[in-house]
Amino acid sequence: MTGATLDYHTDSVSLQVIDALADATNTDASDLEPLYDVVDPEALDQLFQSGSGAAVRVEFEYHGMPVEVRGDGTVTVNGTVHGSR
């Protein structure tokens, strides 16, 4: 993927998920189907804002691929870790 890179310490978890999906599909992030078609990005960001418990975990499917976001900021797509805080 080309373009701007994300700063995982300041960017929202929804942006981390988009970056991970782009990486996993070898697609530019701007060419992905909207994330809000499968999960509410604002709710996801609120759930994982700083201070939330490490036990928080959200799982959903994006175009048949399992996506997991953990409380420690780890994002996996198809079982592959694509980033963590």
**Domain annotation covers residue 23:** yes
Residues in the chain: 85
Judged against a pLDDT cut of 80, whether residue 32 lies above it is answered with yes
**Domain annotation covers residue 8:** no
Burial pattern 33-61, b for ≥16 Cβ within 10 A else e, equals eebeeebebeebbeebeeeeeeeeebeee
- Which pLDDT tens digit goes with each residue over 1-30? 445 554 544 578 999 999 999 999 999 999
Count of the separate structural domains present in the chain? 1
- Residue 85 binned pLDDT confidence (cut-offs 50, 70, 90): low
**Domain annotation covers residue 73:** yes
Average pLDDT score over residue span 55-81 = 92
Listed residue (64, 77, 79, 85) closest to 17, CA to CA: 77
**Would you state the pLDDT for residue 65?**
95
**Domain annotation covers residue 50:** yes
Listed residue (38, 34, 42) closest to 13, CA to CA: 42
Is 36:46 a contact under the CB 8 Å cutoff? no
Judged against a pLDDT cut of 80, whether residue 41 lies above it is answered with yes
**Domain annotation covers residue 7:** no
Give the structural domain span for 70. Answer: 13-83
